[in-house]
Amino acid sequence: MAGTAVHLDLAAGVAWVTLDGPGTRNALDAAAAADLVAVCDRVDDDPTIGVAVVTGSGGAFCSGADTTALAGLRTTAPHTAYEGLDALYAAFRRIGTMTVPTVAAVDGAAVGAGLNLALAADLRILTDRARLVSGFARLGIHPGGGHLHLLARAAGAGIAASAGVFARPITPDRALATGLAADVVAPGDLRHTVERTVTHLAADPALARALTLTLRRTVLDAADWDRAVEIERARQLWSLSRPRPEES
């Protein structure tokens, strides 16, 4: 089965970054993660771009880390598993450090690492059929990539506990009420709503980048996310390597 491709389309100062993996609902493997990092680098290096929008094709946003990639980490040496997680984390970590403002345009499922990808963006616009699912705990896996931190940063400690610990999906209405989402729209209105939201940024890339730098330095503390990543990583590696309860 083919992996997820990452497409970059530039339109009037807006970089549209689309995950395209029809067979896996746009799951992330190491190759897709590396491609996403490369695309982000291209966007940051182009001073004519004022904003980046990450989205998914085929009625899904991102179903999370590729299951084959995760399964492989269960049986690898600890240092190899560490590096494998880093490769997957790199996708959403890079979105969170871009020099342009970022929007996650979420239609359909955003699960696990896919939810991290949406949470790493500066703004989220959802369709009314979006499904935001932590996914980790239900699979017997500890969250990773700073997942609980990202949930709390976007919508508060209550949502972090509800979604990340108690495995309750976040509905579009709940996402809107908690500030996790800026808008909830019909699927056919998603692109238009995003375009209307980012027009001023696309028209003035220099200001857009200055605003983003200030946001990163004064509001979105990267050190807090870094600490959360390392705290979660050890527990995620443990959860991947231990026997499943049904195997005991």
User: How far is the C-alpha of 196 from the C-alpha of 191, rounded, in Å?
Assistant: 9
Q: Domains of the chain by range and CATH?
A: 5-187 (3.90.226.10)
Does residue 18 carry a pLDDT above 60? yes
Q: What is the mean pLDDT of residues 27-34?
A: 94
Q: In angstroms, what CA-CA distances link 98 with 31, 131, 142?
A: 20, 25, 27
pLDDT at residue 73, as a whole number:
63
Whether the full predicted model's pTM is greater than 0.85, yes or no, is yes
Q: How much is the average pLDDT of 37-53?
A: 98
